[in-house]
Structure 1
Amino acid sequence: MNHFVIAVMFFIACIWSNPAYAKWIEASSDHFIIYANKNEKTVRKFAERLELFHAALAYGRTNVLAKPSPSNRVTIFVVGSEGKVQKLARFGGRNIGGFYLPRAGATVAFVPELRKASNKFQNSPEQILFHEYAHHFMYGITDYSYPRWFSEGFAEFYSTVRFEKDGNVGLGLPAAHRAYELGRATDVPLIELLNTKKYLANKRKGYDNFYGKSWLLYHYLTFNPTRRKQFREYQLRLTNGSNEEEAAEVFGDIGQLAKDLGVYRRNRKWSYFSRPRAELKIGQITTRQLRSGEAKMMPVIMRSKRGVTREQAIELLPQAQEIAAGFPNDPAVQAALAEAEFDAGNNAAAIAAADRALVKDPRHINALIQKGYALAALAKDSEEPEIDWKAVRRQFVKANKVENDHPIPLLYYYRSYRDAGAEIPEIAVRGLERALEFAPFDSSLRWMVANQHAQDRRYDHAIQILRPLAFSPHRSKQSQLAEQLLEQFEEKRDADGQPQASN
């Protein structure tokens, strides 16, 4: 994705303007939690637009995931400038307008501002976020990883959402911000666009029109009456196991499709969907001003949620400790300190900070989880591991009782057996599978579930879980390894005489 980057962890050296005195607002809704140093009205309105966007995406669909648990919502940090976003990302240079990290129980996005583009040819921070949330939404409606062009075309198609004056929501409007790209950038031949491997094998250095052309093709196939039927068949073939080249045969002569697409590009009038506001149901949106201690701790919280290495955590820790010393009775501050201590490898100090938070708020989910992490780290080196691993399990059971649909307690209950080298009970395996249902976008969780199924010789289940990683449109060492494992699992399934599941 060209603006948002799922990146490895780097040191974050952010310069925040007056963080100790900033008045931060938290907006909480069904699918999002937003933190911004903005006025309450602006943040609330942003949360409302995001929820309307989700409702418009879900409109008419029957396979949408249920409302997430509070901690499994997308958390959005509004950091104030693109420079601060780029320092947080530390990857991609000046091209980053924001970034998104899809993780079970900790999905976060960082954006510079809550603003629209100054003209239709610009890609605003808000539109970038809509693009990334479309990807996030797509994970929840299918277990299949579609070709790269489809994935990006889908996200671009919906990122141009327009909130009409009458309250309706428009989807699929022209991607004017891709006009220059379509007209000036190196063209990607349609035969390569439809085949991820061919595109990557022949990719030219520099800027091409992949994103713009992916949007154009998705838009054309969606609104052209004849091609729409082919588009449905194309998607059906993919979900039934056809590869990209086989699925694309439904379009007939690709050369003719390319000519038709060229004609379509010259349109002066573009179709789009209008979703009626009266039918877009959104839940309650609440806002509050963060307490003084929480506001002062926000720079630490953002860096922790972004992800830090041990060295980075050690450098961050003195700031967290200094702030937390002034707010010993604030559960959010002490939970943030617990996270910073754990990241730095100070497990006993992390438990102590988490306990201070839990005295004030026994249901504080981050404190419960951070304590569980620290207990698990101590159990790995314990002289009485059986006793200590039981304490770890009790801790994550407590967290599960607070948020039954939170994936992290389910995941770490399972890991407590695996990391202890103990026999994994069926209830732990079922919990792991349930965690993936709540967080289908988390690739490391998907790996874990696939490997567990393979160990249990449930190869067909392992294949189904692994397939989105193997067919990921973003080619990587991970996707190549997934392809290899997929072949191995298929061979073992066939050798065992297991029936192949129908899609």
Structure 2
Amino acid sequence: MAGLFQGGADRSFIMLDMSVEDPWTTVFHEYAHQLMNGNIQTESDPWFEEGFAEYFSSIEVDGKEAHVGKIPHDDYLILQQVGLMKVANLFKVAHYSETYNENGNSRTSFYLESGLLVHYIYDNQLLPKVGTYIDLKGTKHVSVEDAIQQAFGMSAAQLDKTLRDYLLSGRYLYYKIPAPANISEKTYTSRPLTPSDAAAVLADIHLHSADYQDKAIDEFQAILSSDPNNAAACRGLGYGYLQKQNFTQAAEYFKRSSEQDSKDPRVHYYNALLMARESGFGSKVDIPTLTRELETSISLDPSFADSYALLAFAQSTSGDPAKALETMRKAIAIDPRNEGYRFNLANIYLANRQSEKAMAILQSLQKSASPEMTSRIDGVLESIRRQP
């Protein structure tokens, strides 16, 4: 494994094994996902999401240009060895499918074949047909096989043969893109990490993995036993206690972290989140202090969407739904795929007596793959229908 991506509600991590060949493929793969997340509100089928990321994962960059769209030779060898899935089956893989979530040949084949198919689509300028397919299947609920026929003008079996021929040909297109002239090493900064800081990063990675949170708390405590003023460890331990609903301990460690680094936007956000959770997101929260913490967080990191989302809650709670709408839209502009943000926006629209806009958002969210989200939506829709 060349690398691993660990996502989280507040931050994400990419871990690389720099001893392997081309470790940066993991970075490019995840960057492609972030491009999709930041620009397209509705999530596509896994084959297209992962195929798009695989397409960009093989970027080669030298000093003057980037080569985009190459297919690694090893991908050909693996696909020829394990064989191709039927395209109809590839298109039916969902986020909860075994093929998508369990390690093994099936998952490897899914990723590589998705990448191969997206290469074929780009090479033959078929993206508009993909859009047609997604609309037929997702909006009009046409079966996968019929949607393939209508969108691509060929049967699923014919598309199987076409993709197999494309694989066997060993030929593909890639694009040379000039590197921006203003890229310079001088625009980036780096600094050596102390052993404590490096250990705090590893503990933070564990904290953001559900199976390792207790281990993370032990690691943060070990760091602080030898380096009691380590701001990152104080922040991480505070967040760990916040996740466990231990608000007193969380507040103590956030305070210690702030004393060491008052410019950390996440500590200010965590302080606000702590206040909101302690009050049960109710009327007892100290809105002026919570707002001040969030405004400080935003001033230090204007791209941190969670701070805008929580600030919108504060504004709505304090009786300013118009300002809350504006702020929540900023959160969604940064993270358009966040269903929680969109659900909250719908509720703010309801508070603003704009029920039609709220209904449009709620109905679009009914397609969510999250049972918890669809249950929440059903409850809100039912309460709207009961209103006179």
Q: How does 1:57-456 map to 2 (within 5 A)?
A: 97-101=3-7, 103=9, 105-109=10-14, 111-117=15-21, 125-164=23-62, 167-185=64-82, 187-196=84-93, 207-208=105-106, 209-224=109-124, 228=125, 230-235=126-131, 238=134, 241-243=139-141, 245=144, 248=148, 249-254=150-155, 255-278=157-180, 281=183, 284-291=187-194, 293-306=196-209, 315-316=218-219, 318-325=221-228, 328=229, 331-343=231-243, 345-380=245-280, 386=284, 388-416=286-314, 425-450=321-346, 452-453=348-349
Task: Return the letter of the residue paired with 2:130.
Answer: Y
- Structure 2 counterpart SS, 1:275: strand
Alignment TM-score, normalising by the size of structure 2: 0.76
Deviation, 1:172, is: 1.0
What is the RMSD computed on CA atoms of the aligned residues? 4.3
Deviation, 1:126, is: 2.7
For residues 259 and 219 of structure 1, the distance between their equivalents in structure 2, rounded to whole angstroms, comes to 16
Alignment TM-score, normalising by the size of structure 1: 0.61
For residues 99 and 243 of structure 2, the distance between their equivalents in structure 1, rounded to whole angstroms, comes to 42
Deviation, 1:175, is: 3.7
- Superimposed CA distance per residue, residues 140-195 of structure 1 (whole angstroms, 9 cap, x where no aligned partner): 2222322222212111111121224x632111111433334422335422233344
- Distance of aligned partners of 1:102 and 1:134 in 2 relative to their CA distance in 1, 3 Å threshold: farther
- Superimposed CA distance per residue, residues 68-111 of structure 1 (whole angstroms, 9 cap, x where no aligned partner): xxxxxxxxxxxxxx6xxxxxxxxxxxxx95133153x41323x2
Task: Give the number of the structure whose residues are more often helix, by fraction.
Answer: 2
- Distance of aligned partners of 1:270 and 1:196 in 2 relative to their CA distance in 1, 3 Å threshold: same
- Superimposed CA distance per residue, residues 420-444 of structure 1 (whole angstroms, 9 cap, x where no aligned partner): 7x75633223322321221235444
- Structure 2 counterpart SS, 1:470: coil
Q: Which has the higher contact order (CA 8 A, sep 6+)?
A: 1
- Structure 2 counterpart SS, 1:270: coil
- Distance of aligned partners of 1:466 and 1:161 in 2 relative to their CA distance in 1, 3 Å threshold: farther
For residues 36 and 382 of structure 2, the distance between their equivalents in structure 1, rounded to whole angstroms, comes to 30
Q: How does 1:5-84 map to 2 (within 5 A)?
A: none
Task: Return the letter of the residue paired with 1:133.
Answer: Y
Percent of paired sites with the same residue: 17
Residue correspondences, number:
374
For residues 282 and 345 of structure 1, the distance between their equivalents in structure 2, rounded to whole angstroms, comes to 45
Gapped runs of 5+ residues in structure 2? none
For residues 112 and 192 of structure 1, the distance between their equivalents in structure 2, rounded to whole angstroms, comes to 32
- Distance of aligned partners of 1:331 and 1:216 in 2 relative to their CA distance in 1, 3 Å threshold: closer
Deviation, 1:406, is: 2.2
Aligned partners of 1:146 and 1:238 also within 8 Å: yes
Deviation, 1:288, is: 0.8
- Distance of aligned partners of 1:175 and 1:461 in 2 relative to their CA distance in 1, 3 Å threshold: farther
Deviation, 1:134, is: 1.3
For residues 343 and 492 of structure 1, the distance between their equivalents in structure 2, rounded to whole angstroms, comes to 31
For residues 145 and 290 of structure 1, the distance between their equivalents in structure 2, rounded to whole angstroms, comes to 37
- Structure 2 counterpart SS, 1:145: coil
For residues 180 and 464 of structure 1, the distance between their equivalents in structure 2, rounded to whole angstroms, comes to 45
For residues 278 and 399 of structure 1, the distance between their equivalents in structure 2, rounded to whole angstroms, comes to 31
